Structure 1
Amino acid sequence: MRLRLPGGRVGATALDALGRFAERYGDGHVHVTSRSNLQVRGLPGASDLPADVLAELEATGLLPSRTHDLARNVMASPRTGLASAPADLRPVLRALDAAICGDPVLGGLPGRFLFVLDDGTGDLLGATCDLGLVALDDAHGQLRVGDGWGDVVPVSSAHEELVVLARAFLRARGGGPSAAWHVRELPSPLVPARSPDPRVPSPAPPLPYGAVPGGRHVPVPSDGLDRSAVERLCAAAPELVVTPWRGVLIPEENR
């Protein structure tokens, strides 16, 4: 079971509850993904979870919408708002997730469809996306549309622009087994091509493990977080950030 964490953000209380859930029903570990999400493996049921198990999973607070969970694939710069960057994209992240969950149409987005929000540090500029935003300064950002670029828009309304484009993708993708999974697979461009703004940053390398501006980045073992590891993380801060580099950021502001 994959649990989507927009921006990788997870409360310690919810992570602790998921650790207990994994211990009771799964393989005892909480796994992380390269999209900053969580997984629990080894759950009962051939394809669907038994109703009582699903109810316990929902009680963790990590499955807020059954109808829109597949659409909540939103990555964001893990340190946005925690370390120096052109923009703090946490408000955009929250607004985009709320807009996705509040739009019945967007529940139809494919499970592989991905939004990527880069706060202008370039840490996610190399990540492939369907739709995204790269901050240029604290008030403006340029849209990413598939493998290309879109308009420069106000950061304050970027979530609205992304929702409009997501709806346009659903109209253009068609139906049936040949329907496009990604923007780059559409037969025609979703928007007229734009050149990247001169203020677009260069791609940054992956966040190293250890102390970094904004917090401490700790690696997650290949077999996931066992119960003791979950407890240590939850004791370190009230909110944590799962990163795309199979790690967890413990924000400095919470320590």
Structure 2
Amino acid sequence: MLAAMPPPVPSPTPAPGAPRVRERGDACPGALRLHSADDGHLARLRLPAGRLTARQVEVLADAAEALGDGRISVTSRGNAELRGLADGCGAELAPLLAEAGLLPSPTHERVRNIVASPASGLDGLGAADVQLWARELDERLCAAPWAAGLSGRFLFVLDDGRGDVTGLGGDVTLVAVAPDAAHLHMGGRAVRVAAADAPRAAL
């Protein structure tokens, strides 16, 4: 439901070596947690690597037209926002998003903040196709119960080596340095990992 903010839930204990989570909930909006704005309520949908299918674009457009102000806004992290929503529209919006595959894990919907080199795998310029990493990382993120306690602002950045997204200041950043290797940056430190293990290492 989109209507009311639930009370903060204590964060589960992360696995050894996992990114830290906040001990208190935060007010960062999501698809199931509305933010009240001057123009109505706002829902923010996480789109890992900024990817959408044609069907998902249609669903978002229909939802914006029927429930909001008719527009879809795109954030600096490649997520989508629906604005001008009425209070209590969650009973209509949530099923639409779920049916379109935009809510693979309701408990993790605010933590799927994954930015990846947008042209990776398309133009042959990167050291590796980090769009594939983004897909695997999203699946692993949604499958990790402790990850639901991450802040809604926690950011994973996946750069294919061209340096186009490393400046976004990710909490965890993976940079492809060769087809079979990547550098994992976290907490001011960097380690080299095998490319095949990169999504798992990010968690």
- State the TM-score, normalized to the length of structure 2: 0.75
User: For structure 1, which runs of at least 5 residues remain unmatched after alignment?
Assistant: 164-255
Cα deviation code 1:28-78 (max 9, x no counterpart): 001100001111001111xx6432332223233222221001110000000
**Number of residue pairs matched?**
160
CA distance in 2, matches of 1:136, 1:110: 28
Aligned residue for 2:126? 85
Cα deviation code 1:65-114 (max 9, x no counterpart): 21001110000000110112111112211110000001111111110100
Asked which structure has the greater CA Rg, the reply is 1
Cα deviation code 1:121-180 (max 9, x no counterpart): 01012111100101111111101114x2321001110111111xxxxxxxxxxxxxxxxx
- Select 2:172's aligned residue among 126, 131, 134: 131
* C-alpha deviation, 1:16, in angstroms: 1.2
- State the TM-score, normalized to the length of structure 1: 0.60
Secondary structure class of the residue paired with 1:143: strand
Letter in 2 for 1:82: L
Secondary structure class of the residue paired with 1:70: coil
Matched, 1:100 2:130: no
Query: 1:27–1:41: 8 Å Cα contact kept in structure 2?
Result: yes
Aligned residue for 1:6? 48
Aligned residue for 2:152? 111
Letter in 2 for 1:78: P
Secondary structure class of the residue paired with 2:157: strand
Cα deviation code 1:224-243 (max 9, x no counterpart): xxxxxxxxxxxxxxxxxxxx
Query: 2:166–2:173: 8 Å Cα contact kept in structure 1?
Result: no
Query: 1:142–1:149: 8 Å Cα contact kept in structure 2?
Result: no
The aligned runs of 1:20-31 (5 Å cut-off) are: 20-31=62-73
CA distance in 1, matches of 2:92, 2:174: 39
Aligned residue for 1:152? 192
Identity %: 43
Aligned residue for 1:43? 85
CA distance in 2, matches of 1:38, 1:116: 17
Moved >4 Å (runs of 4+)? none
Letter in 2 for 1:60: A
Q: Which gives a bigger RCO, structure 1 or 2 (Cα 8 Å, sep 6+)?
A: 1
Secondary structure class of the residue paired with 1:41: strand
Q: CA RMSD in A?
A: 1.3
CA distance in 2, matches of 1:92, 1:60: 22
The aligned runs of 1:160-171 (5 Å cut-off) are: 160-163=200-203
- Select 1:142's aligned residue among 183, 191, 198: 183
